[in-house]
Amino acid sequence: MDIPDVQTNRPIMASATFVERAPYEKGFADFFEKELKGHLQKAEEGRIILLEEYKHRKTIGYPLYIPIILLAGVIVLYADPQFGLFAGIGLGALLYGWIQGPVHKYRSNVKEGIIAELVKFFGELTFAESKKISEKILEDSGIIPSYTTYNGSDYLSGNYDGVPMEMCEVELKQKGNKDREFTIFRGEMFNIKLKKTFKGKTLVRKDSGFLGNAFGGMFSKLEKVKLEDPKFEKEFEVCGSDQVEARYLLTTAFMERLLTLRDTFDKDGTIQCEFSNDHLFITIATTRDLFEAGPIEKSCLDTEDIHTFLAQMESVFQVIEVLKLNKYTGL
């Protein structure tokens, strides 16, 4: 717990430390001390200032909702109901945006100052907040439903052990009645480039209500593939255009890593994947943000989120490791 400074009443920061817990974290404590610690302490200084500003804006801003509601009510009752409703919503949204300004700035600072440095631990990986996976990958995929809007961010790309990979957070929307859009997918997408061009398509999904039905079109055109392990047969539905190729690819080791990947990101998430052309494409439906900063009230010096991030990245790398051991993939 930080102790307040007597003169400024601001907390005096404790020194951040990182203790390695797992084999895949080996070397990170040294990287933390030399490369990351200074960025964390700088971010913590900024967080404390922005937190004070956030509290100040809440003190001023929240009481202002009362006159906004009263003004909107008067307009609705005595003038133009539609204009009064829109005016109330608009003014309320502007006020909320102003109150949340320090929080948005803090999150942006963390991504630019910490995440971009953190991924350097993995070697040839870089982070770009505003980039996304090429839309052509989605358009060619058999596990992506029809959509009208593709939003992507928090893009990580590069090479792991010589294997090109990329991943990003994605939101897909579809137009419904009166052209109103609704979200049909939100989560993580991964694209791993392989050296081998496959003969056909192999699709893996875990049927999950609406999403499962949404992907039904492509599955209905392919043959059902029986997995060698009954446990995975219960977990997943698999279809492919080449039965022999699908069995070569979907080994027990690969399916185990696929489940680990899902569980590490979100145990309640829905994972799907596709082997097609010369790549493996994976989607995990989840509402969790991999690269999002924690609450502004939480210290940047708390390293628990870093442990979680390292475990998530390790689960991605383990999928690649299994593919490298499979002679059929040509890695």
The span from the CA of 326 to the CA of 331, in Å, is 8
Please tell me whether residues 75 and 58 are part of one structural domain.
yes
pLDDT of 86 above 70? yes
61 and 98 co-located in one domain: yes
User: What pLDDT, on a 0 to 100 scale, did the predictor assign at position 46?
Assistant: 93
Residue 320 pLDDT > 60, yes or no?
yes
Query: What's the chain's average pLDDT?
Result: 85
| Residue 115 and residue 193 in one domain | no
User: Residue 135: which H helix or E strand, with range?
Assistant: helix 135-140
Query: What local confidence, expressed as pLDDT, does residue 331 receive?
Result: 52
Is residue 15 in some structural domain?
no
Name the pLDDT band for 28 (thresholds 50, 70, 90).
very high
Q: What is the DSSP string of 267-322?
A: TT-EEEEEEETTEEEEEEE-S--SS----TTS-TT--HHHHHHHHHHHHHHHHHHH
Minimum mean pLDDT range among 13-17, 225-229, 277-281: 13-17
Whether 9 maps to a domain, the answer reads no
pLDDT at 265: 87
In a domain, 247, yes or no: yes
The stretch 53-80 carries a mean pLDDT of: 94
Q: What span, in angstroms and rounded, lies between the C-alpha atoms of 301 and 315?
A: 24
SS3 readout for 169-199: EEEEEEECHHHCEEEEEEEEEEEEECCCCCC
Judge whether 231 lies within some domain.
yes
Residues 84 and 139 in one domain: no
How many structural domains comprise the chain? 2
Examine the pLDDT at 211 and tell me if it is beyond 80. Answer: no
Residues paired with 169 in a beta bridge: 153, 188
Q: Are residues 77 and 41 in the same domain?
A: yes
Concatenated DSSP letters for 19-47? ---SGGGTTHHHHIIIIIHHHHHHHHHHH
Indicate whether 129 and 115 sit together in one domain. Answer: no
Higher pLDDT pick, 7 / 251:
251
Confidence grade of residue 328 (pLDDT, cut at 50, 70, 90): low
Q: Are residues 147 and 256 in the same domain?
A: yes
For range 38-47, the mean pLDDT = 92
Question: How confident is the model at residue 30, as a pLDDT?
Answer: 95
pLDDT at 11: 46
d(CA 190, CA 169): 9
Task: Tell me if 106 is assigned to some domain.
Answer: yes
Q: Residue 236: pLDDT band by 50, 70, 90 thresholds? A: confident
Residue 218's pLDDT is 53
Tell me: do 206 and 165 sit in the same domain.
yes
pLDDT for the residue numbered 36: 92
188-212 average pLDDT score: 78
The answer to the question of residue 58 being in a domain is: yes
Query: pTM for the complete prediction?
Result: 0.80
Judged by phi (left if over 0) then psi (alpha if -120 to 50, else beta), residue 182 lies in beta
Regarding whether 169 and 96 lie in a shared domain, the answer is no
Range of the domain at 197: 124-292
